Amino acid sequence: MTIRTIDVRERVMAKNDEIARTTRERLAGACVPALNLVSSPGSGKTTLLERTVKQLGEELAVAVVTGDVQTRNDADRIARYTDRLVQAVVTNGACHLDARQVATALDAIDLHATRLLFIENVGNLVCPASWDLGETAKVVLFSVTEGEDKPLKYPRMFQVARYVVFTKVDLLPHLAFDVELATRYVRQVNPTLQVLRVSALTGEGMQDWFDLLRSLAPAGQTA
């Protein structure tokens, strides 16, 4: 007699991946690329989104879904810079967004009037690495106020990401952070990662970020 034990996590992950596949197909059908922003807490996801939506929100017909553990503060901050709906998902303690939450949030978004979707995940470099949301790519924000060895400590997140954005680079003159060493660690974990350096506060490097977003957003979509 053969016995196989299926734990609860396996069933939950299988269902999540099924929903994520449907979401990915839904977004592809509407020609909307989705970027899943992930990072440690306090790395600057919301500040980067504020500046991005303020600068490119109308040009790229940006939609935003934010995830937070207990509040909708991030959504409120971003909503100040756009007339479009900003969807707030409160996880009530969960350390990540899941595919069902994102799929439900998309029900209130007119994807045919959207060219680019941002998903701001919960601040955590462990849990979100394992949860597919149906996104086009994960973007890891790596603050220069953190340790250079972050990619070595949390390799899974950097392995599944497509882009790394060093944030708060305006602080580099005041820190001992070695950005070149951190970049080597990034490449060590995932040689294919595209790396950018930005300061959403001063604007340094933001043009490179904006150019990337413009290259991802499909042409010809109406806002």
- Burial label for 149, CB within 10 Å (0-12, 13-18, 19+), is exposed
Which has the closest alpha carbon to 132: 34, 31, 29?
34
* Residue 64 within a domain: yes
Which whole-number Å values give the CA distances from 82 to 31, 51, 56, in the listed order?
A: 21, 11, 10
Q: What is the pLDDT of residues 189-208, one digit of tens each?
A: 999 999 999 999 999 999 99
Q: Structural domain tally of the chain?
A: 1
Averaged confidence pLDDT in the chain:
93
* pLDDT over 50 (residue 139): yes
The pTM of this model reads 0.91
Q: Flag the least confident range among 51-55, 123-127, 209-213.
A: 123-127
222 domain-assigned: no
**Burial annotation 58-84 (CB, 10 A radius, 16+ → b, else e):** eebbbbbbbbbeeeeebbebbbebbeb
Report pLDDT for 135. Answer: 98
Supply the DSSP string of 91-120, one letter for each residue: -TT-SS--HHHHHHHHTTS-GGG-SEEEEE
What is the residue range of 42's domain? 8-216
Q: Is residue 1 part of a domain?
A: no
**Residue 192 is part of a domain; what is its CATH number?**
3.40.50.300
- pLDDT tens by residue, 66-107: 998 887 888 999 999 998 888 888 888 789 999 999 999 999
Residue 113 lies in a domain: yes
Place of tokens 């007339």: 83
Query: How does strand 116-120 pair with strand 86-90?
Result: unpaired
Query: Would you state the pLDDT for residue 222?
Result: 44
Residues 114 and 84: their CA atoms lie apart, in Å, by: 10
* pLDDT of 129 higher than 50: yes
Whether residue 74 is contained in a domain is answered as yes
| pLDDT band per the 50, 70, 90 thresholds, residue 1 | low
| pLDDT above 60: residue 4 | no
- Residue 223 has what pLDDT? 42
> How far is residue 205's CA from residue 199's CA, in Å, rounded to a whole number?
7
With bands split at pLDDT 50, 70 and 90, how would you rate the model's confidence at 8? Answer: low
- In a domain? residue 55: yes
List the beta bridge partners of residue 119: 36, 65
The percentage of the chain sitting over the pLDDT mark of 70, rounded to a whole number, equals 94
Q: Is residue 3, in this structure, part of any structural domain at all?
A: no
What type of residue sits at position 52?
T
